[in-house]
Amino acid sequence: MGSLNARVAAAATLTLCVVGFTAGGALASVAHQSRGPNLGSNVIVLDPSMPQDQIQSELNAIAAQQVPSQFGTGRYAILFEPGTYGSKTDPLIFQVGYYTEVAGLGAAPGDVVINGAIDVFNDQCPTAGGTCDGLVNFWRSLSNVTLNITLPTTPPTYVPATNEGATCNNMFEYWAVSQASPMRRVIMNGNVSLQDFCNEGFVSGGFLADDEFNAGAVINAGQQQFFTRNSDIDSWTNGVWNQVFLGDTGAPATAFGAGTNQYTTVASTPVSEEEPFLFTDSHGAYNVFVPAVQRNSTGPDYASGTTAGTSIPIRRFFIATPTTPLFVINAALALGQSLILTPGIYNLSGTIDVTHPDTVVLGLGFPTLIPEKGNVSMQTANVPGIKLSGIIFDAGPHNSNALLAVGTRGHRGPSTYTASDPTLVQDVFFRIGGAEPGQATDSLVVNSDDTILDDVWAWRADHGAGVGWTDNRADTGVIVNGDHVLAYGLFVEHYQKFDVIWNGQDGEDVFFQNEMPYDPPSQAAWMSSPTTDGYAAFLVTAGVKTFQGYGMGSYSFFNQGIPIFATQAFQSPDRPGVQFNDLLTIFLNANGGSGGINSVINGVGGSSTAANADTPVDVASYP
């Protein structure tokens, strides 16, 4: 074994110095990477000395490729070096499409200033008669910049499909996103709308964290649900079904019930740690900054001027591409390196093993991991402080027991975990079907104590490739076995049994968005017991003594032409230590749907069916 280990170590050392290109059909780039590591051709690094017309052309070319590419293979990270881009007379305006990360490389969000707009809207919107529906505006991100919203003197107009003859101006910054589209560490100066032109169509929830909104309003418009954490809000206008605020300054007060905006506001975040990010220092050297743990926090972590934390030089990271052999990645991790996954699709014949405490695994440009042989794509050890962020986990052609396993179940000890150094799972997304056929029994299994889930979307696809009740098989999206696990912004949809199973003690979930599976072929095929119709979306199991939930919604949209019912959306033991605040259910399919959810939690709360479609049924507190 000694000679084999030596060869593995030598291979890892060699690969640390040589990184190749990434997959995805990279476009010709005007960017340069002379002062940084080779991150591959799909990481586009821009600097303010470049002519703006060339920057604009580059950004437009990427958008043209990625905006319509919901299930495509392209992956991009667009990184802005510190400086100012665009001006009042010549603003920089561009779209962010699928699988595109836009981020500043400053140590603080004020180090990269963009005068213009960074928009997300449906690809049909600029065309007269387009639908402007944003329900599938997934898998994109914006972070670590200051955006001074600057628009042309004469904004482009749009003729909406549902109001022919009228026109709308592109007057705001539009961030019309649904799940898996986080905005972090952004200072926004001006009005930002979370829905498209003219408030048309639907959008279905996003995630804001560590942001600052100045000199304008956050216009919620038709967002069905939205989650905002540790941000500074100048003004938030209106709400729909489930707007949740955690540790925000300027957030609206809780107002939950009939005739209100359905706001849930929690004053402070009990324990948080912002996402690690890539930045360049005063010498132009690349580093990764890991923010410090915060307790009982409100507002952005840079509000005092600086962010507490640790800077890690890039040399301590192994930089992988989709062509890097798995054994080389694992050898680097075993040697104590952290890991950067550059953009692309990683077909894995085995498991990426993250074994060292405080390892950072940072995805750039939504790298996507696919297990080829029914394996788990990534497994972490029972050690503290591992940080995982910016990764998509797809199911593969053979059923996997899980796609990501955080810790190993059953391992306990006084030094195994520590609350002062939590494990982080941030902006991590799971898909069963959609992009390609796939199956997985469970998507995310959390065995580690003291873990923070911060923006997780687990999705059994309802459209795309390999979709069907017997095709994209998947039991459960998230299973929590660890104690002291905190979930902030949890989106879990369409799984065939319980979407979430919570076994751990002293857990907390703030914001939950769920749709039950659309496609059970019969009631008999979807029963959690002989006397219980369907499966609850969120199950807190009988042995749990303490749990807190805030702002949690479950929706049904049964579309098989037959009545399908769930007895309840939430199921939990009845004991004082297990508490819920602001729960709701909604029936979505008013035209052609049948069935629904018979109660909100444990038989308490009314039913949501076609008889009261698109109307929230609320339970303000339970028990």
Nearest to 448 by CA among 384, 356, 511, 514: 384
- Measured between alpha carbons, how far is 139 from 74 in angstroms, rounded to an integer? 12
* Tokens 């000890």 belong to residue: 413
The overall average pLDDT reported for the chain is 90
Which residues, at least 6 apart from 409, have a Cβ–Cβ distance to it below 8 Å?
Answer: 445, 447, 481
- Measured between alpha carbons, how far is 236 from 245 in angstroms, rounded to an integer? 11
Q: Sorting pLDDT into bands at 50, 70 and 90, what band is 24?
A: very low
* Partners of 596 in beta bridges: 565, 609
Please check whether residue 429 is in contact with residue 404, taking contact to mean a CB–CB distance below 8 angstroms: no
pLDDT digits (tens, 9 = 90+) for 179-199: 999 999 999 999 999 987 666
Q: Please give the pLDDT value at position 412.
A: 54
More confident residue, 298 or 122: 298
User: How far is residue 35 from each of residues 277, 334, 401, measured CA to CA in Å?
Assistant: 17, 28, 42
pLDDT digits (tens, 9 = 90+) for 272-322: 999 999 999 999 999 999 999 999 999 999 988 889 999 999 999 999 999
Supply 387's token pair: 């940080």
pLDDT digits (tens, 9 = 90+) for 37-65: 999 999 999 999 999 999 999 999 999 99
Clarify whether 274 is annotated catalytic: no
More confident residue, 174 or 554: 554
pLDDT digits (tens, 9 = 90+) for 515-546: 999 999 999 999 999 999 999 999 999 999 99
